[in-house]
């Protein structure tokens, strides 16, 4: 069975793979596009069919692939009876919808886009029903909300389509968030996120004090997805979608997701009073309310939408009863509802497609003009009404039988009476669909002359109606699937039951007869009831939703404007206060403990350096408006920090700090060239006092944390010992810092160099934006605050920088090669080489340096990221996780034995990315300097020819010196 189990991930992924092709193949024609959408669905059906015999024999197929085992997230799939039923409905009706949509959609509709959205949704639904990991299930669950949003809003030109999509996404998305919380609680109770494990721990879950919170949160997600009261209002507004979407989402897939999850969790959540009263009551209310509203809807799809709400409530009620036979009835009605409701939606689409209206008041007499459509619609509607010899009758009888034996709050008649009332209105709106649309005389005022469509459009609903009749006449054909599925729902043996037409004179039969007669009577007085219904005051769910949405929007806008007003000081204050508050909460928790070490004596030199550091920091605070002075003080602070790293035996950090300081100071000096010398006063005394208090509190918090760490016993729990012990054996290097960066935490470094490259690209984009707008015109005007030096290229600096260039490059290569075992590495080497290149800009000018640039810095960044990425991917070919490094020793005569490590290739990526990022930032700033230099800094060519000749001679001498070097 393990070999068959390998089909499960393929079944789940096939629709996602298929979604790549329709958008491309639409260029080959609509038939080819539809075929490319159908092929992956057909392949998935074939694989599911191969798995079906084993499942029907009682086997549970499983597939497991570790993904993030430390988080409990694994790619686990399993297929039992419940998964088989829902996967079959999703894929089977999916292929019929693909066929139907081919003929339904007009040439103006982007068919490739439609099929892409449809397959994405199909894949998400299949993923839900096959998932054996609740975290994986939650991913697919949210994908259904997103993909259904695209499908419902497919007709973007319709305001009601866009609103219906937003409403569906809002309601189901918020319900999904609640469900995520509930499922995580279940996982924590059991200690595993695998569904097969959770389903075996009923006693532990129901005995937990977290059972009720988990139950409520999960049910909110299920009710929202399956349009149960009070979340029922979103489903009818989703009818603005094309009819193929309505037929698919609201008969067999999306709205059934909530039912599926309730059925899936039935073995561990059902059987308690909380489950019964919450689930059964919600389902009963939804069943009756949806049926009543459906009767008075004049739009065909609205009538069917509320009828869907009612039948979903019926199934929810059955699951809420918590008995095995009720679960059997729920499973059977899921099958029956999917067949007749999908067929009804398709016939409504046919009527709309041919008559150009869905308004029941403008229809009637269509049986004479559309006999095939009438036959299909009549049989499907009669099944929905629960008329004998059709499948809807069988499951309705089973529902009424279970309702007849259900006691609610001590009342034995309340549930049977309301269930009969719901069935009565179900009969009424089903008969109305037949009588008011198809019966009567032919009208002369149809918006378009109706007629039966081509075979391609009625073939899908026709096939479904054949199933309606077949199951209704020979219910035994569905019994194996129903038995296997219901057994998976209850998680154990089922009591005896038989799917047959005649069960004798039972209470359910009399209740059904009352429903049919009462439904016909209600329909006969519909014209009298409808005006009273329209005039009756009642809350409108859409208006309530819109009011809540408006209120939430106004509040969020007010909160956003208050917090995000563009003030950096406010952002910093909010962040600092939040961090300080969190730290204070942790500190008062008593986890820090008393000091366990004695403080060390302070030597004179470190004390002087610390005092200088404090003085420079205070100087930056006092003289912060003088930007140049602040920049100098920042350099001093960076230098002292570098010396501190050296003092504490951290040469790698010292080299990095020094290199970063040099590059940063140069870039900031260049940036300051375009800013006023003095910052304006912007903060009031009160704000400065507030900022001082917050900053002082933050300083005390950091000091307290440092004190607790240095004198406490935190070092005993440090991961440093692991790194020290495994640096050489695991990473092949004795420089622990470098091994951590390129091996132990290589993924962090990979993300950091990507961020570094993005930052450089942002600087480049901003500089180009400035040059192309008013800022560029200001730079070209020469209205800068500072005067430029007359001597652009000092001779000594030019010669020195060009002579030092090859030496600096050699030093960079040396630092890079020694980095795995001695202080150095790709990051430091990249900074060293970048400094050497920066010196060329400073000494010889931007234009001279750019003219000699051979490789664009964008390309350097890209090459660095690609080198790091491909190094990580290479580990997959060895069956190792991403970015797992390897090393070995080789001997090439006459050289001595030396080490080769894959981490070197990763470090090359770091090296290139650092150089590219620094130089792209410099080049971006220098481009603004060149623009300003066109009028300010450059010497006119017709003035002082002697000086121009000196400059030319200087360049020649510098070039010669470079060659000599």
* 420-470 pLDDT tens trace: 999 999 999 999 999 999 988 888 888 888 888 989 899 999 999 999 999
* pLDDT surpassing 90 at residue 212: yes
* pLDDT surpassing 80 at residue 787: no
pTM over 0.75: no
Q: In the numeric block, which tokens belong to residue 362?
A: 């403008």
Residue 468 lies in a domain: yes
Selection from 614, 599, 575 nearest residue 697 by Cα: 575
Per-residue pLDDT reduced to its tens digit, 273-317: 999 999 999 999 999 999 999 999 998 999 999 999 999 999 999
**Mean pLDDT value of segment 117-133:** 93
Task: Indicate the residue among 527, 546, 563 that finishes a domain.
Answer: 527
- Residue 318 has a CB neighbour count (10 Å cut-off) of 33
Selection from 334, 197, 208, 202 nearest residue 263 by Cα: 334
Is there a contact between 46 and 127 (Cβ–Cβ < 8 Å)?
Answer: no
**Mean pLDDT value of segment 249-271:** 88
Task: Indicate the residue among 502, 527, 552 that finishes a domain.
Answer: 527
User: Rounded distance, CA 697 to CA 691, Å?
Assistant: 10
User: Rounded distance, CA 856 to CA 853, Å?
Assistant: 7
DSSP-derived secondary structure letter, 279 = I
pLDDT at position 958 is: 40
Residue 259 lies in a domain: no
* Sign of the dihedral through C-alpha 196, 199, 203, 209: positive
**Mean pLDDT value of segment 632-653:** 89
pLDDT at position 48 is: 94
pLDDT at position 29 is: 84
pLDDT at position 428 is: 94
Per-residue pLDDT reduced to its tens digit, 909-939: 999 999 999 888 888 877 766 655 544 344 3
Angle of helix 254-264 versus helix 211-225 axis, rounded to 10: 160
**Mean pLDDT value of segment 783-802:** 64
User: Rounded distance, CA 853 to CA 39, Å?
Assistant: 52
pLDDT band at 786 (very low <50, low <70, confident <90, very high): very low
pLDDT at position 426 is: 94
Cα–Cα distance list, 381 to 365, 431, 451 (Å):
16, 7, 20
Contacts of 30 (CB under 8 A, 6+ apart): 102, 107, 111
Is there a contact between 962 and 843 (Cβ–Cβ < 8 Å)?
Answer: no
Residue 786 lies in a domain: yes
Percentage of the chain beyond pLDDT 70 is 92
pLDDT at position 563 is: 78
pLDDT band at 158 (very low <50, low <70, confident <90, very high): confident
pLDDT at position 628 is: 85
Residue 519 lies in a domain: yes
Burial call 278-317: b when 16+ CB within 10 Å, e when fewer = bbbbbbbbbbbbbbbbbbbbebbbbbbbbbbbbbbbbbbb
Contacts of 22 (CB under 8 A, 6+ apart): 33, 36, 37, 111, 112, 113, 114, 115, 116, 119
pLDDT band at 954 (very low <50, low <70, confident <90, very high): very low
Selection from 101, 116, 108, 130 nearest residue 25 by Cα: 116
Residue 762 lies in a domain: yes
Per-residue pLDDT reduced to its tens digit, 523-547: 999 889 988 888 887 777 777 888 8
**Mean pLDDT value of segment 169-192:** 90
How many C-alpha atoms does 336 have within 13 Å on its Cβ side?
Answer: 41
* pLDDT surpassing 60 at residue 635: yes
DSSP class per residue in 800-866: HHHHHHHHHHHHHHHHHHHTTTSS--HHHHHHHHHHHHHHHHHHH-HHHHHHT--S-HHHHHHHHHH
pLDDT at position 690 is: 82
* pLDDT surpassing 80 at residue 680: no
Q: Which residue has the higher pLDDT, 561 or 38?
A: 38
Per-residue pLDDT reduced to its tens digit, 808-828: 889 989 998 888 888 888 889
Contacts of 488 (CB under 8 A, 6+ apart): 80, 81, 82, 83
**3-7 long-range contacts, Cβ below 8 Å, gap at least 24?**
4/50, 4/51, 4/54, 4/61, 5/61, 5/62, 5/63, 5/77, 5/79, 6/63, 7/47, 7/48, 7/50, 7/51, 7/61
- Residue 815 has a CB neighbour count (10 Å cut-off) of 24
Residue 914 lies in a domain: yes
Nearest-5° Cα angle at 750, 748 to 752: 70
pLDDT at position 766 is: 82
pLDDT at position 781 is: 56
**How many structural domains is the chain composed of?**
2
pLDDT at position 679 is: 77
pLDDT at position 776 is: 58
Angle of helix 479-490 versus helix 324-355 axis, rounded to 10: 120
DSSP class per residue in 102-163: HHHS-TTS-HHHHHHHHHHHHHHHHHHHHBSBHHHHHHHHHHHHHHHHHHHT-STT-HHHHH
Residue 20 lies in a domain: no
Is there a contact between 404 and 508 (Cβ–Cβ < 8 Å)?
Answer: yes
Least confident of 123-127, 213-217, 468-472, 499-503: 499-503
Per-residue pLDDT reduced to its tens digit, 361-415: 899 889 989 999 999 999 999 999 999 999 999 999 999 999 998 888 888 999 9
Percentage of the chain beyond pLDDT 90 is 38
* pLDDT surpassing 50 at residue 235: yes
pLDDT at position 217 is: 94
**Mean pLDDT value of segment 72-92:** 91
Cis peptide before 894 (omega within 30 of 0): yes
pLDDT at position 938 is: 41
* pLDDT surpassing 90 at residue 330: yes
Q: In the numeric block, which tokens belong to residue 198?
A: 């959770």
Contacts of 449 (CB under 8 A, 6+ apart): 369
pLDDT at position 293 is: 92
Task: Indicate the residue among 488, 507, 527 that finishes a domain.
Answer: 527
Residue 340 lies in a domain: yes
Residue 787 three-state SS? coil
Per-residue pLDDT reduced to its tens digit, 713-732: 665 567 777 888 888 888 88
Range of the domain at 394: 293-527
**Mean pLDDT value of segment 658-680:** 81
Rounded to the nearest integer, the mean pLDDT of the chain is 85
Q: Which residue has the higher pLDDT, 880 or 490?
A: 490
Per-residue pLDDT reduced to its tens digit, 855-885: 788 889 999 999 999 988 888 888 888 888 8
In 3-state terms the chain splits into helix, strand, coil percentages (rounded to 5) of 75, 5, 20
Residue 506 three-state SS? coil
């Amino acid at each position: 069975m393990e070999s068959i189990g390998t089909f499960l991930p393929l079944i789940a992924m096939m629709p996602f793979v298929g979604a790549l092709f329709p958008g491309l193949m639409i260029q080959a024609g609509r038939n080819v596009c539809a075929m490319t959408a159908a092929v992956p669905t057909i392949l998935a059906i074939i694989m599911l069919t191969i798995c079906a015999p084993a499942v029907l024999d009682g086997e549970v197929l499983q597939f497991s692939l570790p993904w993030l085992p430390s988080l409990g997230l694994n790619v686990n799939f399993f297929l039992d009876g419940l998964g088989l039923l829902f996967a079959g409905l999703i894929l089977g009706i999916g292929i019929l919808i693909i066929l139907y949509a081919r003929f339904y959609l007009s040439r103006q509709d982007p068919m490739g886009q439609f099929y892409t959205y449809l397959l994405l949704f199909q894949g998400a639904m299949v993923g839900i029903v096959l998932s054996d990991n609740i975290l994986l299930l939650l991913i697919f669950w949210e994908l259904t909300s997103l993909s259904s949003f695209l499908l419902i809003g497919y007709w973007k030109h319709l305001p009601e389509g866009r609103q219906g999509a937003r409403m569906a996404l809002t309601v189901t998305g918020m319900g999904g968030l609640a469900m995520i919380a509930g499922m995580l609680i279940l996982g924590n109770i059991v200690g595993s996120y695998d569904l097969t494990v959770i389903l075996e721990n009923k006693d532990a879950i129901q005995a937990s004090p977290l059972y009720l919170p988990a139950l409520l949160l999960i049910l909110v997600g299920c009710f929202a997805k399956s349009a149960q009261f009070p979340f029922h209002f979103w489903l009818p507004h989703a009818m603005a979608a094309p009819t193929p979407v309505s037929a698919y989402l609201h008969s067999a897939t999306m709205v059934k997701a909530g039912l599926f999850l309730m059925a899936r969790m039935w073995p561990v959540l059902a059987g308690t009073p909380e489950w019964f009263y919450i689930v059964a009551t919600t389902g009963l209310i939804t069943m009756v309310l949806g049926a009543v509203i459906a009767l008075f809807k004049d739009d065909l799809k609205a009538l069917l939408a509320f009828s869907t709400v009612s039948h979903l409530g019926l199934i929810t009620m059955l699951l809420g009863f918590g008995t095995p036979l009720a679960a059997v009835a729920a499973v059977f009605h899921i099958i029956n509802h999917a067949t007749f409701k999908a067929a009804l939606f398709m016939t409504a689409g046919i009527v709309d497609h041919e008559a150009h209206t869905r308004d029941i008041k403008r229809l009637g007499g269509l049986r004479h003009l559309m006999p095939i459509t009438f036959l299909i619609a009549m049989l499907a509607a009669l099944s929905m009404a629960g008329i004998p010899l059709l499948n809807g009758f069988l499951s309705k009888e089973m529902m009424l039988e279970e309702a007849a034996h259900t006691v609610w709050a001590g009342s034995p008649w309340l549930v049977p009476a309301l269930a009969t009332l719901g069935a009565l209105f179900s009969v009424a709106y089903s008969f109305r669909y037949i009588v008011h649309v198809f019966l009567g005389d032919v009208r002369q005022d149809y918006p378009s002359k109706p007629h039966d469509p081509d075979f391609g459009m009625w073939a899908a609903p026709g096939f479904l109606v054949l199933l309606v009749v077949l199951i209704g006449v020979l219910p035994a054909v569905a019994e194996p699937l129903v038995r296997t599925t219901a057994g998976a729902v209850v998680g154990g043996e089922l009591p005896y039951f038989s799917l047959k037409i005649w069960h004798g004179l039972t209470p359910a039969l009399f209740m059904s007869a009352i429903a049919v007669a009462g439904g016909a009577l209600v329909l006969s007085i519909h014209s009298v009831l409808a005006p009273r219904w329209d005039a009756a005051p009642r809350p409108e769910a859409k208006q309530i939703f819109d009011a809540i949405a408006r209120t939430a929007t106004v509040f969020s806008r007010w909160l956003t404007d208050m917090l995000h007003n563009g003030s950096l000081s406010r952002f910093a204050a909010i962040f600092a206060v939040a961090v300080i508050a969190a730290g204070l909460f942790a500190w008062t928790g008593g986890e820090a403990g008393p000091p366990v070490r004695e403080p060390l004596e302070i030597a004179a030199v470190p004390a002087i350096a610390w005092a200088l550091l404090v003085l420079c920091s205070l100087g930056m605070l006092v003289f912060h408006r003088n930007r140049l002075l602040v920049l100098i003080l920042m350099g001093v602070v960076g230098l002292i920090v570098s010396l501190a790293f050296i003092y504490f035996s951290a040469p790698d950090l010292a080299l990095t700090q020094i290199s970063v300081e040099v590059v940063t100071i140069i870039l900031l000096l260049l940036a300051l060239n375009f800013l006023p010398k003095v910052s304006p006063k912007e903060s009031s005394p009160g704000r400065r006092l507030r900022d001082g208090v917050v900053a002082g509190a933050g300083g005390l918090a950091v000091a307290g944390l440092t004190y607790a760490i240095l004198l406490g016993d935190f070092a005993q729990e440090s991961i440093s010992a692991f790194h020290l012990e495994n640096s050489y054996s695991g990473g092949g290097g004795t420089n622990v810092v470098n091994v951590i960066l390129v091996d132990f935490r290589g993924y962090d470094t990979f993300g950091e160099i990507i961020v570094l490259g993005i930052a450089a690209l942002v600087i480049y984009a901003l500089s180009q934006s400035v040059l192309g707008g008013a800022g560029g015109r200001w730079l070209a005007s020469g209205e800068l605050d500072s005067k430029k030096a007359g001597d652009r290229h000092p001779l000594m600096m030019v010669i020195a920088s060009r002579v030092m260039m090859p030496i600096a490059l050699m030093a960079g290569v040396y630092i890079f090669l020694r980095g795995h075992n001695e202080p150095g590495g790709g990051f430091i080497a990249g900074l060293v080489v970048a400094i050497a290149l920066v010196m060329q800009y400073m000494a010889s000018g931007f234009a001279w340096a750019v003219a000699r640039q051979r490789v664009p810095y964008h390309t350097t960044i890209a090459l660095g990221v690609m080198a790091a990425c491909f190094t990580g991917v290479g580990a997959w070919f060895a069956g190792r996780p991403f970015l797992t490094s390897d090393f070995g020793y080789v001997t090439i005569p006459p050289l001595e034995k030396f080490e080769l490590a894959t981490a070197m290739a990763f470090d090359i990526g770091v090296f290139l990315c650092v150089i590219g990022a620094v130089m792209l930032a410099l080049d971006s700033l220098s481009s603004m300097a060149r623009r300003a230099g066109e009028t300010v800094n450059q010497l006119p060519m017709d003035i002082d020819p002697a000086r121009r000749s000196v400059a030319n001679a200087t360049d020649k001498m510098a070039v010669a010196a470079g060659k000599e070097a």
